[in-house]
Amino acid sequence: MTKKKKWINALIFIGGLIVFLFYYFEDKADIDKVEKEQDKSALDSAEVKLPDLSEDLAEFEENNSNVEEDSIAGDSL
């Protein structure tokens, strides 16, 4: 390979590396922005649904307390 071809290959490689790094860091900045929005959205949705979950939990505990009494009675027979 001649010196001229080596220099051309080196320039192409360096140019490709620069383009890759540019798009990599640009994409990383976009991802960070989206992650912040998703974190905020997740916190907002969790705050809205917590009261609903506590009501469901109380109902679930009532239903399970009845099941436990039945299973204890069945085991003693």
Question: What span, in angstroms and rounded, lies between the C-alpha atoms of 69 and 50?
Answer: 29
Structure-block tokens of residue 37: 């929005």
Question: What is the reported pTM?
Answer: 0.42
Predicted local distance difference test score (pLDDT) of residue 5:
94
Question: What span, in angstroms and rounded, lies between the C-alpha atoms of 69 and 6?
Answer: 83
pLDDT in tens, 14-68: 999 999 999 888 888 788 888 888 888 877 776 655 555 556 666 777 777 665 5
Predicted confidence band at 76 (pLDDT cuts at 50, 70, 90)? low
pLDDT surpassing 60 at residue 72: no
Instruction: Please count the CA atoms within 13 angstroms of the CA of 3 that sit on its side-chain side.
Output: 0
